[in-house]
């Protein structure tokens, strides 16, 4: 289905929702209107959180560059969008909230078209199998009529189009997201899967954790850099057990106490540690292990906010605390700094700007071995009793994107 009234050599404004939908759609549209100039417009205040929005924009920019299409970015006015879907938060996907979301974005697209003196527009939402095409046709035509514009109705899904779109997305190494972008749809989707929506869990410490928005941005930015340098790579997916510390508190003699919880520490429900026994021992430097395990192309600890100095030995002599009634392990900040060759002045500072995730896992292995989930806790100073710990953490299976970097000419 196409619009026969569209004349050749017209400019067509294309609202773009994501690269997976747009990459195939734009090529189909260009094939049907070879003499028209296509202009992209990325307007999606429905995408949450902002890091997810940034990643999708990054991928759309790459796609448009590959296709030679100019791209404009609309305002990320989430408050405007939230007002447009107010009262529809509990609607299912493909319900009335989606209709309101379409209207919100297409109205702004039509306004931008008039601003740029473009008389024709359409949307890549038409290529998404998760969207009701007939509703988009109706709403698009209605909005076009109200603005004295023309809306292109194009069917790119039929006759194997959906399968061709998925194949192209994989071949061209696009970011293939797992939800539409709307936080309300995401929460319902993850709830049905029995999972926590990690996409909405903000990492206050700014550490780049596996299966996080920040890790995805880092991965796809790396993809772009490899392409610029003409270095071969494979974009793949891996299954991992992602960990998150949702909340943790400590009390010493009834008073609140700062603590830092190492990654992969299991939950503790207001556990009283009893007597904490401290022992002086020798521990392998996590810097040595981290450098050995670090994947090619990954950042080294020297790129962290508190970079370690050059390590001179393979091990350090430190004190480790062990709870007598529990499996929790304790470190003082002084020994943490010695092991990681950092210069934190307080545990509060460590919480605000933690060491890289890979180095933290190397530290866990050095202290407790492979596969451990013992709570490992860093304190400002040694405590020997009267300590109560609460940790609410989760372990959740996730699929993450990964890059296998090749060699030039390989």
pLDDT tens column, 127-176: 987 778 888 999 999 999 999 999 999 999 888 989 999 999 999 999 99
Check residue 7 and give its pLDDT: 53
Band of residue 299 on the pLDDT scale cut at 50, 70, 90: low
- Answer whether residue 397 shows pLDDT above 50: yes
Q: Any residues with CB less than 8 A from the CB of 14 and at least 6 apart, and which?
A: 22, 25, 26, 29, 38, 39, 40, 41, 69, 121, 122, 123, 124
Check residue 298 and give its pLDDT: 57
The winner for highest mean pLDDT among 45-54, 157-166, 307-316 is 45-54
| CA-closest candidate to residue 55, choices 26, 89, 84, 20 | 20
- Give percent above pLDDT 70 in the chain: 92
How far is CA 46 from each of CA 74, 81, 84, 185, rounded to the nearest angstrom? 12, 6, 10, 10
Domain ranges of the chain: 11-195, 245-397
The pLDDT tens digits for 76-107 are 999 999 999 999 999 998 899 999 999 999 99
CA 14 – CA 156 distance, rounded (Å): 14
Q: Is the pTM of this model over 0.95?
A: no
Check residue 296 and give its pLDDT: 60
Better pLDDT: 204 or 230: 230
Check residue 121 and give its pLDDT: 97
The pLDDT tens digits for 251-262 are 999 899 999 999
Better pLDDT: 337 or 294: 337
CATH fit for domain 11-195, picks 3.90.25.10, 3.40.50.620, 3.90.550.10, 3.40.1360.10: 3.40.50.620
CA 405 – CA 410 distance, rounded (Å): 10
Band of residue 312 on the pLDDT scale cut at 50, 70, 90: low
Peptide bond into 49 cis (omega under 30): yes
Check residue 89 and give its pLDDT: 95
H/E element, 138: helix 133-146
- Answer whether residue 62 shows pLDDT above 50: yes
Angular region, 110: left φ>0, alpha ψ -120 to 50, beta rest: alpha
- Answer whether residue 4 shows pLDDT above 90: no
- Answer whether residue 306 shows pLDDT above 90: no
Q: What is the mean pLDDT of residues 167-188?
A: 95
- Answer whether residue 314 shows pLDDT above 80: yes
Mean pLDDT of the chain: 91
Band of residue 2 on the pLDDT scale cut at 50, 70, 90: very low
Q: What is the mean pLDDT of residues 324-331?
A: 92
Q: Any residues with CB less than 8 A from the CB of 1 and at least 6 apart, and which?
A: 153, 154, 155
């Amino acid at each position: 289905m196409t619009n026969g009234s569209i004349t050749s050599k017209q400019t067509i404004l294309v609202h773009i929702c994501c690269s997976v939908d747009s990459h195939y759609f734009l090529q189909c549209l260009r094939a049907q209107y070879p003499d028209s100039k296509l202009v992209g417009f990325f307007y999606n205040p429905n995408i949450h959180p902002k890091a997810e929005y940034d990643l999708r924009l990054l991928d759309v920019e790459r796609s448009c560059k590959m296709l030679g299409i100019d791209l404009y970015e609309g305002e990320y006015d989430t408050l405007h969008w939230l007002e447009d879907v107010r009262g529809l938060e509990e609607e299912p996907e493909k319900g009335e909230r989606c209709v309101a979301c379409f209207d919100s974005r297409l109205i702004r697209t039509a306004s931008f078209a008039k601003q740029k003196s473009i008389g024709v527009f359409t949307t890549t939402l038409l290529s998404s199998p998760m969207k009701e095409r007939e509703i988009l046709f109706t709403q698009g035509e209605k909005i076009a009529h109200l603005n004295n514009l023309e809306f292109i109705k194009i069917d790119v899904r039929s006759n194997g189009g959906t399968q061709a779109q998925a194949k192209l997305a994989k071949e061209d190494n696009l970011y293939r997201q797992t939800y539409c972008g709307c936080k309300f749809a995401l929460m319902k989707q993850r709830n049905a899967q029995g999972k926590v929506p990690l996409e909405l869990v903000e990492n206050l410490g700014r550490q780049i954790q596996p299966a996080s928005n920040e890790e995805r941005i880092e991965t796809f930015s790396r993809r772009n850099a490899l392409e610029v340098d003409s270095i071969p790579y494979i974009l793949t997916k891996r299954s991992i057990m992602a960990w998150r510390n949702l909340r943790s508190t400590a009390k010493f003699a009834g008073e609140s106490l700062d603590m830092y919880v190492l990654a992969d520490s299991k939950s503790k429900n207001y556990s009283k540690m009893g007597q904490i026994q401290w022992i002086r021992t020798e521990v392998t430097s996590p810097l040595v292990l981290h450098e050995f395990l670090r994947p090619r192309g990954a950042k080294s600890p020297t790129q962290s906010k508190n970079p370690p100095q050059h390590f001179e030995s393979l091990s350090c002599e430190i004190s480790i605390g062990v709870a007598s009634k529990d499996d929790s392990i304790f470190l003082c900040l002084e020994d943490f700094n010695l092991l990681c060759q950092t210069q934190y002045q307080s545990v509060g500072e460590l919480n605000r700007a933690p060491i890289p995730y890979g180095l933290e896992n190397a530290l866990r292995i050095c202290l407790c071995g492979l596969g451990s989930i013992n709570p490992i806790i860093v304190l400002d100073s040694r405590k020997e009793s009267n300590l109560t710990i609460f940790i609410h953490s989760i372990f959740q299976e996730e699929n993450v994107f990964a890059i296998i970097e090749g060699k030039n000419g390989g």
